[in-house]
Every structure is written in structure tokens, then in C-alpha cells.
Structure 1
Amino acid sequence: MFYKYHKVLFFLLFFNLLWVLFPLTACSSGKSSSGTTKENSSSSKTVRPNKPDLHIPKASGTSVIGQEPLLIDISHLDQGYVMAYYSGTSEKANIQLIGPDEIEYKYFIKPEDGYVTLPITSGNGTYTVKTYENISGTQYASLYTENIEVTLENDYVPYLYPNQYVNFSKESKIVSKASDIVKNATSDLDAVSSIYHYVINNITYDTKKAETVQNGYLPDVDKTLETQKGICFDYAALMTSMLRSQGIPTKLQIGYAGKVYHAWISVYLEETGWIDDIIQFDGKHWERMDPTFASANANSKKILNYIGDGDNYVTRYTR
């Protein structure tokens, strides 16, 4: 969890538009090729729909692996998730998902959790599912191991659904708040900008929490919204949840940029595909690339050199 590495003051959150690399005249002259003046007022643009566009996971029961006390519903593998249910008497169970990229994702669930949504984020292919039951302390007993075959509907669908780390529902306060935040947005890129600015301008970094947070911490996005404070993990989960609730596929990615523990958020847009690292955390600050700049330059890693050499980016986890 990257929150352990962020025990520094988080008060100066800033936004780098990179206009020094992208001249103002490139998009703000107000002149068409014929010399006539374009209408620049926001009233001339069509506002995008801001009604929540929710993808709700379901445990349909049409395909299930395992046995009591730990069942895993795999009815919707094409949507990029499984749903796990633990009904045992132990404190918790552990599920490990290992995909084609061989990254091991560990999830812990408790009897009181009910069905828990676990994302499939390693693309198409064979996944190994290993399950364990807690005996005491850090000791676990193996329950079973199964292989499953995954063929996704598309490469962005897993990043529309809530899951254990990006957890929201139609009743969540963040859903209605996101709808209000983006009510004047004219595009999905504009919505990303609006949500980013809301979060960094209204959420305060909780230094005390960062110093005392325990292993296994999971963000509560509504609590972050209510208290208006949180650690980096809370910032990331809140932004990702809000964007997904607006039907914008969003990856929350955690890893390294060189030797620095790092987090970044990527979004998928119909007209451009994935825009990588559109929101990033560098260990001290959250920053957002200029979406106009990103769109105009086809998300080029060479042009977007302010986020570092792409060859140095190593993703450990995608949520």
C-alpha cells in the first residue's frame, strides 16, 4: 500500500498546465482559418450528460467455483470481476488472483462483508485462484486452487465497476456529488478536470492518519467526502470512484517511477482510447496533465515528459 510512504506534509497540492510546452496561441486565438472569430463562451458548447452511469456487479450464481466456506462467483468474467463470499467461523479468508502477467493480487474478506467484488485487471488469459482461511494471527490454511479462463468484453470494462478498493454503490454520496461537480462539463476530459480540481481543493491530507494507518486499510470514499480529509489512497479512490460513477473507465495504478513509490490514474475516452497517467501522485503532490495538451498530442510519452520517462514506470497493482 503506497500510503505508508507518504508521511510528508501534503498542503501544497498544485496543478501544472505546461503552457510553456504548449503555446497559448495553439488553442486560444479565437480565430478560424477564414479569419472569423469563434464563439468561446461556455454557453455555445454542449454540456455532457451528468446523470450517474453506474455499472453494478452481481453474483448471479450461474457459474461458481470452490465450496463452503468460501465461494467465488465467476458468472461475469467478461465484465472483469469475480465476487467472493466467505461464510466461515474464522476472522477472515484470503484470495489470491494471479493472471497472465504473473502479478499476485491478495484480497482479504470477512464473514460480515457479504459478497465482495474483486477486479480482474491483468487482461485476457488464464488466472490461478488460490484461497486460504485464517487460522490465527498470520497463519492460514489452504482451502483450494482453481484456474479460470478470462475473455473480457473489452479492455476498459473492468474499470467501470466498483470493487473492494474503489468501493461505491448507487446509494453512495460520492455518486450524487460527482454528478453535481460535472454538471457544466462539456466533455469527459472536462469532467476529469472538474473532479480533479474538486478533490485537491476540498480534501486535506491527513498526516496523523498516514502515520498510524494499518496494513489492510481500505478506503471509505463517502467518509473521505464527509470528513474532507484522507491519505493518498483515499484521494485516489475518491477520484476513481467519482469518474467511474460518471461512466468514465478509470484505472487506479500503483507502482514505481524510477525508485519513487508512485500512483497514477488513467482514463479511457471513446475518441482517443486510454490517456495514461492523466492524474499522478509523485510522493508529495497530486498533479494533473493538461487534457487539451494530452488530447492534441495523442498521449505521446515523449511529449508528456514532465511525468518522467515511461520506461521507468513499473506498475505493481491496478485496481
Structure 2
Amino acid sequence: MLPQDIVFASNSTGSDLSVFFLMGIPGLEDLHLWISIPFCSVFSVALIGNCTLLYVIKTESSLHKPMFYFLAMLAVIDLVLSTTTVPKILSIFWFNSREISFNACLMQMFFLHSFSIMESALLLAMAFDRYVAICNPLRYTTILTNSVIVKIGLAALFRAVLLMVPLPFLLRRLPYCQSHVISHCYCEHMAVVKLACADTTFNNIYGIIVALFIVGLDLLFIVLSYIKILRAVLSLASKEEQLKAFGTCGSHISAILVFYIPVVLSSTVHRFGRVVAPHVHILMANFYLLFPPMMNPIVYGVRTKQIRVRVLLWFQGKSF
């Protein structure tokens, strides 16, 4: 189906909400097959890396600690984010399969945004873990018990669901009486809102408030945690102790940068959308979606000795 055929089909649907059409990357349709190569490669690395990480954490008893439980949760979140969106993106690139039902679109959007919020919460929880480990090492095991870790995970899930449940209902109440063509690779909230032929002020405000609430608060508490960590580390007597303490935070700091830098870049491009080509915006949005799930297992695999050793033994054909 060619782009002009999609426009005709979407116009012919009238107010029918049964079918929407994903454009992929507008302006780069002729390059979809080539673009699919890095997309598929990154997706494969993300799947293999996160599954390997989960397997190593499950089978290696020395990794049954709070930080690695949080890391396992992060790996699950990254797997859900990848599998929720990338298969459909690849089907657009490979088979020109652009149709998506409205219900499937809302479901994809719900999972995408919910698990992104959960990832932010997990990074905050991991910052708290590092704070306790460095600033209150003697109370580490009594503060971060298994029950506390479960409660943190459930709180992250509850917050994400609570904030995202209104989205499908807010979008369902809007009329879509014109084009049903979504200028994106997946059902992102604002891309769907733009199709509505009604006042979407409330939807726009709600999306901005949620984004500021999540990114702003989580990032603020992460920064505060690391300010306290920095003070504690600098109070240590020797340089060796300081480097060792900083070394325990290296992987987490890398994970924070991997997650938040694409978020900031994508948001910046979105805000200046009028002067930035649409395909640049879409590519940045996909970068934000694909990059963290690929990089997190690599970062922790390289920087964590126990994980690195076990993976090397695995590839050498030795038993765990």
C-alpha cells in the first residue's frame, strides 16, 4: 500500500475508529528496508542482552542482592518496551503492514508510556540503593529487604498504571473525523492526539503534566541522592576508597545517562518540531525507544565483574 493509498483509505473510513494507519518514517519510505537493518540489529541485541542478564541474575547466587533485583526489573521493562513496539515497526519496514486497530493502538500506547514511567521509577530506586549502600552501609541489609524491594516494584507499577489509565479514555472521547494516518512508527500519545478534529487542550496539558511530574521529580530525587553520595565519598580518607565507592555507582550513572539523554533530546526535537524535519523527530523518538534497552545490559555486563565472568564462561561452553 502506497502512502497515497493510505490517505485515501483513511479518508474513506470516516468516523470509524476500527482502523488506523502507521506511516513509518514520513519522507523516508523508500529507505525503510535499509533502515530496518539497524532497527533489527538493535532489537536483537536488546532481546539477547536482557534475556542473558535475567538468566545470569537468576542462576548466580552472588547476584541475589537488591541492586541486581532492581536490574532484573529493569531488564523486564526493557524487554516489554522493545517487544511492544519494534515487531510492528519491522512489519511496516519489511511487509508494508501499516494497519493497526484503534484498540491495539491504545494498548500499544498504554504499555509504551507505562513501562517508560516504570523505567524512570526503577532508576530512582537504584539511586536510592546506591545511597543506602554508600551512606548507610551497616544498615543496607535491614533497609533494603526483599519485602521492601517488592513494595518498591509494586509502587512503580501502580504509579505508572494510575497515570496512564486515563489516556485511552481521553483519546476514546475524541472524534477522528478526518485522516486516520498516524505520522509515526508506533502509537505515541501526541501523534494520535494530532488526528483529532476537536479541542485537545486537556490531552495536551495532561501529557505535559505527566512528563514533567515523572521526569522532573524522578530526576530531581536522583540528583539529590548523588549529591549526598558525593559528599559521603569525598569524606573518605584515601583516594583508593573514593575510587572504589565511585566505581559502584558507575553502571547506574551510565544507565541514567542512557535513559534521560535520549528523553531530553527527543523532547527538544519535539518542541522545535516546526523547524525540524518530521523524519528527524521520528528517528529521535525511535532512538529514545531502542537505545536504552540495548545499552543497559551492555553497560552492566561490561562494568559488573560477576556478570561479565559468568557470560564469558557461558560463551566458552563452561557450566555455571
TM-score (norm 2): 0.27
Structure of greater relative contact order (alpha carbons < 8 Å, 6+ residues apart):
2
Larger helix proportion of the pair:
2
TM-score (norm 1): 0.27
Larger strand proportion of the pair:
1
